[in-house]
Structure 1
Amino acid sequence: MSLSRPTIYDVARRAGVSKSLVSLVLRGASGVSAQSKEAVERAIRELDYRPSRAAAALAAGRTRLVGVLIDDYANPWFVDLLRGLDEALSPDGYRLTVVDTATASRSEDPVEGLLSMRVDGIVVARDVPHLLLGESAPPFVIAGTRADMPEGGDAVGNDDEHGARLATEHLLALGHRDIGHLSVGGGAGGVRRESFLATMRDAGARPTATPYRGPASERAGYASALDLLRADPRVTGVFAGNDVMAIGALGAARELGLDVPGQLSIVGYDNTALAQTRLIDLTTVDDDSVGVGRESGRLLLARMAGKEPDGVRRTLEPSLVVRGTTAAPA
């Protein structure tokens, strides 16, 4: 007994028709007689034939694949982004293929890999690779605030300036005057850092910002917070550039014997699933990352269909979520 899957040629032989006629039936084309259509559909049922989505897409000139470029699988922000993308794209039959450019094989450029798969479009959740700026590149949308936004490029992001101001003003309103910021790299990180410094200056308070520019990891947050708190024991509030670094700061506070929020208040950014757990219960800024993914997917669909002008920029409004890691200073 053969274990191979039936092919379109098997269907054609069983129905007594040509392979091209089977293709017409599968596409729902007009001009096929009722008798031939019935014979093909009966053969499909008897053979339990399932058309190859990839072959059908290629025949139609589309792969129904959307590439997603990220730069850190460990950052849960990308999980919410992907969920939003899937919500927008899957109803139209698109599937996502994700590449982490930080861990991709050095033998092949990750963008080249996506282009070789003939993806119909790309969502860029990192700095924009130069390969995508050529005329032959597929449509792409930038998700999030990036350091180098190409002129005329489409982008969906969060208002990082406003979000950082919300986090800083929350600590100031509680009575904190010595506040540190754990900086993260990239365009969004830079905007959040500058907004923090400006808000502190406007309030006449004393800001301290770490110079860190590497991956925004839990380990980096832990190390940066240790350095900050050891160098300046007067700090009573910490605003981390994202939730992952804020969780690292919680670890640093525990190592130094500081009670959170009794002796040290900590605020994150992104409102990830980790921040929402009862164990961590992190005060954070909700940047609507699912919404960023959803809007990026919708914009990419419109771009692939040629329905949007160049240079569309959409900005989503953040909100502050107060939980158990912030309180008035002792």
Structure 2
Amino acid sequence: MATIRDVAKSAGVSVATVSRVLNKKGYVSKESEKAVMSAIASLNYEPNSVARTLNNKSSSMIGLVVPDITNPFFPELARAIEDVANIYGYTVVLCNTDEEVKKEKQYLHALKQKYIDGIILTTSSLSDEDYSKLNIPIVALDRVIDDKTPSVFSDNKKGGEMATEHLIANGCKYLAHIRGPIGVGPADDRYEGFVETAEKFNVPYIVVNADFHLDRSREVAEELLRNHPNIDGIFASSDVAAAGVMKAAHSVGRLIPENLNVIGFDGIPMGTMLTPALTTVKQPIYDMGALATRLLIKQVEKTRLDTYHYKLETKLVVRETTKNLEVSHE
């Protein structure tokens, strides 16, 4: 296997010159650069990525930290992030925290030790100070950490309002909200949109927590429907939670949408696979992931950011779990 010294000897230049060509740092004449590139090709030389990482304190890798990879929302984001990162020559390292603070801290420490170039965070379990101490470019995705950290998120509150208005427009008289984890920005915003809209229209409601999990959503929804049989409209804070609600409705003999309207949030492909197909508030998931990646790479490459915080619009997609099928279809 050829070494950097072999390349230098073949090109008739110093090892330092070869290093400057490989790292794209420092002056190299066009003639020398051409000779080095020709020698690399003829010798089939492959640079030692570990050595280059140690030398440059850069790995051409970005970390993606997610709370729960089993939630289909996050693989959708990861696909967009990987697509864009690859275009710019970066590799994505996926870290799943299982919503555990200790595990997130361990991952962040490991990423920094490996000279990761930047991190996209879809978690916010730690303090602002913890993230600031990393001294690594960061983009918050699907949530906001602080004013100084660039972020990409959808208009979750508006989405909650749209979902609730749709249930009310369908004639629902008693609403329920299966909310996501308390303290998580998107879940809090969807909850606020729901509550403010229900109160605006003077529609009675009840709220229970299920943390975005299917089984937990099924459990709380089943108890809710048994104890409050007059509930006729449910807004779940995620499509996964909505799937749990649908299972619960089947268990207690409630027909969707004949006597129970259900709407989710996210717009993941799973919604079209359910029977009946799920009405949802759709986030621009791919666009969110792609934009977050571009923002991170701009930071890594020391490019000035024109805007730090991007709020993307959500869209109501009406399918079969709500009665009114005239608003939109996908």
Shift of the 310–224 alpha-carbon distance from structure 1 to 2, 3 Å rule, reads farther
2:251 match: 255
Q: Are the equivalent residues in 2 in contact too, given 1:152–1:311 (CA < 8 A)?
A: no
My pick for the range that moved more, 313-322 or 81-90, is 81-90
Q: 2:63 pairs with 40, 47, 67, which one?
A: 67
Name stretches of at least 5 consecutive residues in structure 2 with no aligned partner. 325-330
Shift of the 7–325 alpha-carbon distance from structure 1 to 2, 3 Å rule, reads farther
Shift of the 311–247 alpha-carbon distance from structure 1 to 2, 3 Å rule, reads same
* TM-score where L is the length of structure 1: 0.85
Give the whole-Å Cα distance in 2 for the aligned partners of 1:144 and 1:197: 21
2:278 match: 282
Q: 2:207 pairs with 206, 209, 224, which one?
A: 209
**3-state SS of the aligned residue for 1:315?**
strand
How far apart are residue 45 of structure 1 and its match? 4.4
Q: Percent identity at matched positions?
A: 28
**3-state SS of the aligned residue for 1:67?**
strand
Q: Are the equivalent residues in 2 in contact too, given 1:159–1:315 (CA < 8 A)?
A: yes
Give the whole-Å Cα distance in 2 for the aligned partners of 1:14 and 1:30: 16
When the two chains are superposed, the root-mean-square deviation of aligned CA atoms in Å is 2.8
**3-state SS of the aligned residue for 2:262?**
strand
* TM-score where L is the length of structure 2: 0.85
Give the whole-Å Cα distance in 2 for the aligned partners of 1:110 and 1:69: 8
**3-state SS of the aligned residue for 2:278?**
coil
How far apart are residue 51 of structure 1 and its match? 2.9
**3-state SS of the aligned residue for 1:235?**
coil
CA deviations 1:127-184 (Å, max 9, x no partner) are 15342122x52011111135xx334222111111100111111111111111111011
Amino acid at match of 1:114: L
1:132 match: 131
Amino acid at match of 1:122: I
Give the whole-Å Cα distance in 2 for the aligned partners of 1:285 and 1:85: 22
Q: Are the equivalent residues in 2 in contact too, given 1:153–1:310 (CA < 8 A)?
A: no
Q: Are the equivalent residues in 1 in contact too, given 2:295–2:305 (CA < 8 A)?
A: no
Give the whole-Å Cα distance in 2 for the aligned partners of 1:326 and 1:303: 44
**3-state SS of the aligned residue for 1:93?**
coil
Amino acid at match of 1:133: S
Q: 1:90 pairs with 86, 89, 109, which one?
A: 86
Amino acid at match of 1:195: G
Give the whole-Å Cα distance in 1 for the aligned partners of 2:293 and 2:38: 38
Q: Is 1:323 the equivalent of 2:319?
A: yes
Amino acid at match of 2:96: D
Q: Are the equivalent residues in 2 in contact too, given 1:268–1:282 (CA < 8 A)?
A: yes
Give the whole-Å Cα distance in 1 for the aligned partners of 2:243 and 2:163: 16
Q: Are the equivalent residues in 2 in contact too, given 1:217–1:244 (CA < 8 A)?
A: yes
Shift of the 98–44 alpha-carbon distance from structure 1 to 2, 3 Å rule, reads same
Q: Superposed, which structure 2 residues align to 1:1-330 within 5 Å?
A: 6-9=2-5, 11=7, 19-24=15-20, 26=22, 30-31=28-29, 33=31, 37-38=34-35, 44-45=40-41, 47-102=43-98, 109-127=106-124, 129-130=126-127, 131-134=130-133, 137-146=135-144, 149-185=145-181, 186-212=184-210, 215-277=211-273, 279=275, 281-308=277-304, 312-327=308-323
Shift of the 108–308 alpha-carbon distance from structure 1 to 2, 3 Å rule, reads closer
Name stretches of at least 5 consecutive residues in structure 1 with no aligned partner. none
Amino acid at match of 2:313: E
Give the whole-Å Cα distance in 1 for the aligned partners of 2:48 and 2:105: 27
Amino acid at match of 1:194: E
Give the whole-Å Cα distance in 2 for the aligned partners of 1:257 and 1:248: 14
Amino acid at match of 2:113: S
How far apart are residue 281 of structure 1 and its match? 1.9
My pick for the range that moved more, 57-66 or 202-211, is 57-66
How far apart are residue 26 of structure 1 and its match? 4.2
Amino acid at match of 1:229: L
Q: Are the equivalent residues in 2 in contact too, given 1:24–1:32 (CA < 8 A)?
A: no
**3-state SS of the aligned residue for 1:296?**
helix
Amino acid at match of 2:131: L
